[in-house]
Structure 1
């Protein structure tokens, strides 16, 4: 099948299914790592620095994996070898994480886990650009968003479900003991991660380079670390103008998200449940934080169905502008709630934004970057995801400790402000970004 031939809904589902597993592992990490660190003795001011492994790993790994995957062709294809290696390593890290004997072992395992997730995840973004014609890319990224939402719903709520529905003993998390529900959740996550990625590998074939001799010649001419770094620096300097404007949007978007991910669980465990690390009240707050994360991911899953239709009727820019605004307002509202259920209202807004964040920026980007460098530019684009995370990880701790008096909730609210700034930055992106102005004769829907 030619790359220009429209793919069926079933084929798009198959090629995207691995993202369910990737997000299952990622969701466990987002919802539980701050709590794991605190179970092992960390306080709020240390948490951002302990999270620093994740963005630094992404900063280093993503462009390198994108660069090499553009230049790979094996019997397994171009991107699929990276899917497989990343899935194996990430699954092993998920199994090891809840068995961490100390704080620094957990931090080291997060480094390994995040690197492995990036090895699988980054080529998946390029996969859509490789296999789908331009007019279907918004649908392809929206399908990824749908499966990401489903995986995150299941993973974020799993510890709460195990404790409150299936009767897994909570235990006493004091003294550095990570609860049994967290152990089981991470083991399940390892199995789901590997199985979902393997499903995509077995059900989706890739297109070989049109001119294999030219492909091999270019690969030989750019062999070596020096050529790789030269190519990366030149690629960054020659980013398309739309990509530069989207970079600003991404920067403030992910700054807001990282504020939420780092501090949401500690904020509600202390501020709403009145617990201290090691107490059952604190554990209940952390578990409710997982429910909240499951809620916004559930909303993202449901809203992704709407995105499939909205992507056909409205520009990607318009959709993203509205969704980011709704998400920013929702995150701002977290500071006004005094009961756990009120937080779920805020999570509806965050979920709408999250569905768009996972799809619309990539849809706007995919049609303005050269196909033969799809993996590389997708990796470079993620610089503007990890840079704000590094900024948050290095500065949020001192800010929370000195400016906010140790309270975590103001950091979460700051994330809402960042999302609104990102929404304003969308207005600088051309309205036609990501759109196919003239479709080939005979092109039809599905």
Structure 2
């Protein structure tokens, strides 16, 4: 179980703090709070190697997300699916995030499988993802074959649409199952003082997965004469499945959990359905107040980022095509492929910027000792106040809002590439800050009381990390449903009135949610 980090008076009086403390103070009140903790069990800190093994699955999962984000829309369009239908299909992701993630979190909290609460769900999720993304990548030839065998070739387009919806739903069920297990495992295994660095490692693997994926996605495919996008998606799907398999095996093999069969267990009454949703409610109630505030920020943050993550590649590609046509070039599939590769290159630069941000953030952020002084009301310099996690998060959100406003003025493809790359700084902070804040709060909250509580005469395990992380994921997923519906409406509206820059308007409207998120982040 994770335990919070409480510096001793010796730590607080170290010379390294003298440069930012503006006046002398007595640390006896802080040290006295820790006197009763000396005999408390303390989870050992994880080595760097174990942190890598713990978080690498997040990187494997990101290669799957990248395949969907960067090439999913173009791939579905190559199957003859309309822009509005594609936008509606993507609502499966937030719907599954709102339902599947909290449910899996509660089920894993109550799991009695001998080799752990979380790792079985990581394995199950990985298997589902590999099957689903492979089936989705080859859906067109499989559908044509089946329709030909039944003499219904004319129905192939309709059947392809239905199968695409089915496999996207299955894919997202697998993603949320694995994500729930991975995020809950990080909170379970890491002590509270390592939650920030664990979140940074998870974000670094996310960035690394993005970079590798974008490199694969930007490679030209000269050996393929037609349907470049379908084959590009298939190559990406194979790459994602391979990376996910390796990372899931590494996490499952090297990370050890407590055997839940050795822990006290609450034999709750009622149906499985009732117990599950009661567990989600208990997870919401058990969340520390600051963690709930983080969920509020995440609600608007997710709404803001949805359009960018799905359409940034299309945005740059569209700028390139417009620019090329203005210079007299004839539209062709080869020209479109070059536009997509330029969009992928911009996303690669975006991922590089995000990765470097994740590498630097733990060093930029104020130390745990400084944070403790701020929470206790001691005066510190303005520079150290600005290095707080929520302030850095606010700055990142403001940068994103400025990008959405810049789309009014950007008309060249190179301008779009530069703008998308710079937004990587904001995305790097967004990947790290909320999980660092919520992980620290949840892990530290377990240390404030005994690890087991008495409720109604029954002893039950208070580890509800899965349920609480599920609530957090629901706060991220529900606004994505709203954003997906809003994007569909914007696409319909721009098409109705003949407005050409539909993707640009999706990005501009997302800036409104980004501004609201920045305000709430500042209030944390």
Q: TM-score range by the shorter chain?
A: 0.7 to 0.9
Per-residue deviation, 1:304: 0.9
Report the counterpart of residue 475 of structure 2 in structure 1.
384
Separation (CA, whole Å) in 2 of partners of 1:89 and 1:416: 35
Task: Decide which of 406, 422, 428 is 1:333's aligned counterpart.
Answer: 406
Report the counterpart of residue 53 of structure 2 in structure 1.
14
Separation (CA, whole Å) in 1 of partners of 2:223 and 2:516: 43
1:128-175 deviations in Å (ceiling 9; x for gaps): 2111111111111011000011001111331212x1xxx5435333xx
Per-residue deviation, 1:382: 1.1
Matches within 5 A, 1:258-407: 258-274=306-322, 279-313=333-367, 314-369=387-442, 371=446, 372-402=463-493, 405=499, 407=502
When the two structures are superposed, what TM-score results if normalisation uses the length of structure 1? 0.86
Matches within 5 A, 1:31-430: 31-101=70-140, 102-161=160-219, 163=220, 167-173=221-227, 178-208=229-259, 212-214=262-264, 216=265, 218-219=266-267, 221=269, 224-236=272-284, 239-274=287-322, 279-313=333-367, 314-369=387-442, 371=446, 372-402=463-493, 405=499, 407-429=502-524
Per-residue deviation, 1:3: 5.6
Q: Which entry has the higher C-alpha Rg, 1 or 2?
A: 2
Look up the SS of the partner of 1:272 in the other structure: helix
| Partners of 1:268 and 1:289 within 8 A in 2 | yes
Aligned residues: 419
Separation (CA, whole Å) in 2 of partners of 1:7 and 1:223: 38
Tell whether 2:71 aligns with 1:28: no
Look up the SS of the partner of 1:233 in the other structure: helix
Unaligned runs of 5+ in 1: 430-446
1:391-438 deviations in Å (ceiling 9; x for gaps): 012222122322573522111222234323211210221xxxxxxxxx
| Partners of 2:346 and 2:418 within 8 A in 1 | no
Change (3 A) 1:112 1:172: same
Report the counterpart of residue 444 of structure 1 in structure 2.
none
| Partners of 1:253 and 1:418 within 8 A in 2 | yes
| Partners of 2:347 and 2:421 within 8 A in 1 | no
1:20-66 deviations in Å (ceiling 9; x for gaps): 11111111111111111211123333332121111111111000011
1:333-385 deviations in Å (ceiling 9; x for gaps): 34433333322322233212222222211221123335511111111111121
- CA RMSD in angstroms comes to 2.5
Separation (CA, whole Å) in 2 of partners of 1:303 and 1:106: 36
Change (3 A) 1:262 1:147: closer
1:168-215 deviations in Å (ceiling 9; x for gaps): 435333xxx743222122112111111111111111112345x9352x
Change (3 A) 1:394 1:287: same
Separation (CA, whole Å) in 2 of partners of 1:299 and 1:170: 32
| Partners of 1:53 and 1:110 within 8 A in 2 | yes
Per-residue deviation, 1:18: 1.2
Per-residue deviation, 1:67: 0.5
Per-residue deviation, 1:80: 0.6
Unaligned runs of 5+ in 2: 2-40, 141-159, 368-386, 447-462
